Structure 1
Amino acid sequence: MRVPFVKMHGLGNDFVVLDGREGALPTLAADAARRIADRRTGIGCDQIVILEPAPDANHDLTMRIVNADGGEVEACGNAARAVARLIGRAARVWTRGGTITVAPEGSGAQVDMGVPRFDWEAIPLAYAMDTGALPVAWEDLANPAAINVGNPHLVFFVADCDAVPLERIGPLIEADPLFPERINVNVASVVARDRIRLRVWERGAGLTRACGTGACATAVGAIRRGLVDRAVTVALPGGALEIVWGADNRIAMSGPAAESFRGGFEWEAFA
């Protein structure tokens, strides 16, 4: 079976998009996902994005996200912008992390990411604690905020995010027993009331050039601590995203997304 794909990215966070809205795709096993995502022997990506028909009349389509390690996750902000560009219109999208609204905008898209959650059960954590500043530390990283923006994030505010050995400590935090579903790890430096620098270790994908949900979680965490205003630019290694946490408690994210190329592969080659 030959399957077409679209390679896309948002600020360098890259995806293989498989469109199953009009014809059902075979089940994507974890091993097959890892082989497709492999940058040497596969197509190469941080995540595989699978589009499927809407589950009900209140949605336009379904978006599923599978990380490079083969694990399916709840949400991906950069992928949401890529999907908006691909379909070329505003849409209500069902994800495992909840309903999001996407709309193309210039060379990118705007995404209504919904309402952040702060209850310890919603992160989730292994046991109850204050998610505004967790009383825990890993080496010099201490007292992070924990926020669920469709998927779970831990945010550390540090003087210089570039100085943190995130490639070493990120996987240790991600897999800590405190996080029964693992967690995304963000290290952020507040530059001004309207600007944050950010690096992210993504659960199941590792260091990525950008993370849309991480930018949303970091902005919300900084706003809750009074460090920035409710509209803020989050600068990641791959570029910048504009995040607004509105008075209605909903998060709006805006930024670029682009198509890289199109191709096709024999499903059996990766199955």
Structure 2
Amino acid sequence: MNRTLNTCRRPFRKMHGLGNDFIIFDGRTDQLDLTEAQVRQLASRNRGIGCDQLITLWPSETADVFMRIQNADGSEVAACGNATRCVGDILLQELGRDRVTIETGAGLLTACRDGDLIRVDMGTPLLDWRDIPLAQDMDTADLDLSVGPLSHGVAVNMGNPHVVFFVPDVAAIVLETLGPEIENHPLFPERVNVSIVEDRGDGHLRHRVWERGAGITEACGSAACATVVAASLRGLVDRKAIIDLDGGTLHMAWDADNHVQMTGAVSYVYEGQIDLGSLA
């Protein structure tokens, strides 16, 4: 549609949640609509601003804002936990309230302050094979899938599809090779986010992630949600976990109401302007 790609310089924010970084545009007044090609150019770390995901804020009839999420490859996704915390912090400051509601493709999410951190209710995990989705009927708590040293994964949908593999040592897994192979495996018709997780005891989990459409990122909030669910199903944690990612720590809880709560930091990097009319 590209209703607003004129030659005016457009303000944006650069933010990150534990190193998972975002370009955030405010399109609430003009419904800014970027194409996949434009997103790829903006997301390029050599020729653009650089990001894992590009976020556009749109007006919402049911929430304080609608959050559109596009991966670095231009593909659109329904959920991003770290971006939700960043947008939550923007709205909490902007509106001066204790709690805000964010509409996403995965549904309505709420964000609030928890000390210096932001807590987001990420909603309910989906565990039926049709909801992941998988290409065939399979036990999502113990997938009949082996790729190299990875096997017996757990599939969870947290607004987007995830598969979680538990391993003795995350450092021994060549995620750069195995991540894209599993992301594009025929078992996952919509592709999949790939997590490798090491149980370090006492509710601590070491986590690395290959994100669908973005590659290895320093953190992925929805993957951390899938991980606390998967670890709970395997009996490794009691529905709570401290998850250490490449970029920092998230505090996770799968509560009695079947909602996953995610608490973590957000960071502002800088604000800038860019001429969107100059993009291809």
2:24 to 17, 23, 35: 17
Measure how far apart 1:85 and its partner are.
Answer: 1.3
How many pairs were matched up? 268
Counterpart check, 1:62 vs 2:81: no
From 3, 6, 21, the counterpart of 2:13: 6
Confirm or deny: 8 A CA contact 1:108 1:258 kept in the other structure.
no
The amino acid across from 2:44 in the alignment is D
| 1:1-271 → structure 2 map (5 Å cutoff) | 1-25=8-32, 27-54=33-60, 56=61, 58-88=62-92, 89=97, 90-271=99-280
Q: What amino acid maps onto 2:89 in structure 1? A: R
Which segments of structure 1 move beyond 4 Å, counting only runs of 4 or more?
Answer: none
The answer on whether the counterparts of 1:78 and 1:212 sit within 8 Å (CA) in structure 2 is yes
What is the identity, as a one-letter code, of the residue corresponding to 1:16?
Answer: I
SS of equivalent residue, structure 1 residue 122: coil
Could you report, residue by residue, the CA deviation over 1:70-126 in whole angstroms, capped at 9, with x for unpaired residues? 100110000000011112242111111121111233333100000000011110011
Cα distance in structure 2, aligned partners of 1:48 and 1:161: 28
SS class of match (2:102): strand
CA RMSD of aligned residues (A): 1.0
In 2, Cα distance between equivalents of 1:180 and 1:231: 30
Instruction: Name the CA distance, whole Å, in 1 between partners of 2:278 and 2:171.
Output: 39
TM-score (norm 2): 0.93
SS for the counterpart of 2:264 is strand
8 Å Cα contact 1:193/1:227 also seen in 2? no
SS of 2:236's partner is coil
State the alpha-carbon separation in 2 of the partners of residues 199 and 157 from structure 1: 11
Rounded Cα–Cα distance in structure 2 between residues aligned with 1:2 and 1:180? 39
- 2:144 corresponds to which letter in structure 1? P
- How many percent identity over aligned positions? 48
CA distance in 2, matches of 1:70, 1:106: 35
8 A contact 2:170–2:207 mirrored in 1: yes
Does the aligned pair in 1 maintain the 2:88–2:102 contact within 8 Å? no
Preserved CA contact (<8 Å) 1:51 1:61: yes
SS in structure 1 at match of 2:42: helix
Query: For the residues of structure 2 that align with 1:35 and 1:104, how far apart are their CA atoms?
Result: 34
Distance 2:115 2:212 in 1: 30
Matches of 2:76 and 2:58 in 1, distance apart? 15
Contact 1:7 1:261 in 2 (8 A): yes
Q: Is the 8 A contact 2:203 2:236 kept in 1?
A: no
Rounded Cα–Cα distance in structure 2 between residues aligned with 1:105 and 1:256: 10
Q: Secondary structure at the match of 1:159?
A: coil
